[in-house]
C-alpha cells in the first residue's frame, strides 16, 4: 500500500505532509506507518517507516529533526541535524534549507507553519496542555526571531481528535476558565457532568489571537477513523496495550 500524505494549499509551495497510518510496515495494533520510537513496536520496523517518510520528503532520515515531546511550550531552533539525545521540547523552527521538521501525534494537534517569503518553517505538538501553556505562540515568536513576519505565516492543524470524541470532566474545564472565562465556548455539554472539548477550535483561536496570517484545520478526526489514523484515546477505550504515532513533516 502506498503512503497517504495529506497536504494543505495554505502551506504551498513548502514541501510538507500530514502522513496517515497507511503504507507502513508495522503490524498488529501498530498496523501501518507507525513512526514512534517511543512505542513498543520493533525499532527496525519504525526505522523502515521513517525511511519511507524521508524518501517521500526527499531528505535523508538524518535530516528529519524531531524532539522528545513533553507537552510543554518549549521551542527548539535548529540549524542542522540534532546530535545525541533529542532535546525535550514541543516545537521546532528552522531557516536552514534541506532540513525537515517532524512532529508525532496520536490525537494531539500537529501544527505545521510556513512563511514562504522569509523561508522560515516550524512544527508544533499542541495537545490541550501545550496549547493552553502557549506552545503555538512560542513557535510564532521563534519564527520571527529567524526573520519571519507574523502576518505572512500560515499555520495548518493536521489530523486531531475532534470535539465529538473528546470527553472530559468538569475539572478540565476549570483549567481553561482559569486562563480565560471566554474559553467556555470550546466546550459542549455531554452526558451527566461530562463535557466535549473542541481542541482544534481552541488551537485555531490561539493562533488567530496571536496574529498568524492564515490558519486552518484539515478537519480529520484521529479517533473516528481507525483505518487512517492512530489514536491514543481509542486505543485506551479498546484496552489495547499500546498505540502507533502519526508523523507530520515540513521541510525547506
Is residue 98 within 8 A of residue 65, CB to CB? The reply is no
pTM of the model: 0.96
pLDDT tens string 6-61? 999 999 999 999 999 999 999 999 999 999 999 999 999 999 999 999 999 999 99
Q: Residues near 124 by Cβ (< 8 Å), separated by ≥ 6?
A: 75, 90, 91, 92, 103, 109, 110, 111, 113, 130, 135, 136, 139
**Whose CA is closest to 137, among 37, 145, 29, 80?**
145
Q: All domains of the chain, ordered by start, with CATH?
A: 5-162+198-251 (3.60.140.10)
Q: Is the pLDDT of residue 84 over 90?
A: no
Q: How far apart are CA 195 and CA 166, in angstroms?
A: 8
Give me the DSSP letters along 83-142.
Answer: PSSPPB-SEEEE--TT-EEEEEESSSEEEEEEETTTTEEEEEEE-HHHHHHTHHHHHHHH
pLDDT tens string 117-175? 999 999 999 999 999 999 999 999 999 999 999 999 999 999 999 999 999 999 999 99
Length of the chain, in residues: 252
pLDDT tens string 100-133? 999 999 999 999 999 999 999 999 999 999 999 9
Q: How far apart are CA 61 and CA 76, in angstroms?
A: 19
End-to-end Cα distance, the chain: 27
Q: In the predicted model, what is the mean pLDDT of residues 222-229?
A: 97
Q: Check residue 109 and give its pLDDT.
A: 98
Instruction: Provide the pairing of β-strand 246-251 with 15-19.
Output: antiparallel
For CA atoms 30, 103, 158, 56, the dihedral sign is negative
Q: Is the pLDDT of residue 202 over 80?
A: yes
Amino acid at each position: 500500500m502506498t503512503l497517504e500524505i495529506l497536504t494543505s494549499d495554505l502551506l504551498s509551495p513548502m514541501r510538507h505532509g500530514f502522513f496517515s497510518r497507511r503504507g507502513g510496515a508495522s503490524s498488529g495494533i501498530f498496523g501501518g506507518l507507525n513512526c514512534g520510537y517511543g512505542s513498543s513496536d520493533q525499532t527496525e520496523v519504525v526505522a523502515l517507516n521513517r525511511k519511507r517518510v524521508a524518501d517521500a520528503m526527499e531528505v535523508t532520515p538524518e535530516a528529519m529533526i524531531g524532539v522528545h515531546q513533553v507537552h510543554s511550550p518549549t521551542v527548539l531552533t535548529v540549524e542542522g541535524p540534532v546530535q545525541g539525545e533529542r532535546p525535550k521540547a514541543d516545537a521546532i523552527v528552522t531557516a536552514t534549507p534541506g532540513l525537515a521538521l517532524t512532529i508525532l501525534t496520536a490525537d494531539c494537534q500537529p501544527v505545521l507553519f510556513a512563511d514562504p517569503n522569509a523561508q522560515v518553517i516550524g512544527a508544533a505538538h499542541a495537545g490541550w496542555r501545550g496549547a493552553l501553556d502557549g506552545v503555538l505562540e512560542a513557535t510564532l515568536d521563534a519564527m520571527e526571531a529567524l526573520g519571519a513576519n507574523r502576518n505572512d505565516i500560515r499555520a495548518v492543524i493536521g489530523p486531531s481528535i475532534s470535539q465529538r470524541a473528546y470527553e472530559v470532566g468538569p475539572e478540565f474545564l476549570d483549567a481553561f476558565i482559569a486562563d480565560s472565562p471566554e474559553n467556555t465556548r470550546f466546550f459542549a455539554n455531554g452526558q451527566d457532568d461530562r463535557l466535549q472539548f473542541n481542541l482544534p477550535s481552541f488551537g485555531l483561536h490561539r493562533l488567530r489571537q496571536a496574529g498568524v496570517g492564515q490558519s486552518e484545520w484539515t478537519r480529520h478526526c484521529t479517533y473516528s477513523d481507525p483505518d487512517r489514523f492512530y489514536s491514543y484515546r481509542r486505543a485506551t477505550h479498546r484496552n489495547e496495550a499500546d498505540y502507533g504515532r502519526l508523523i507530520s513533516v515540513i521541510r525547506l
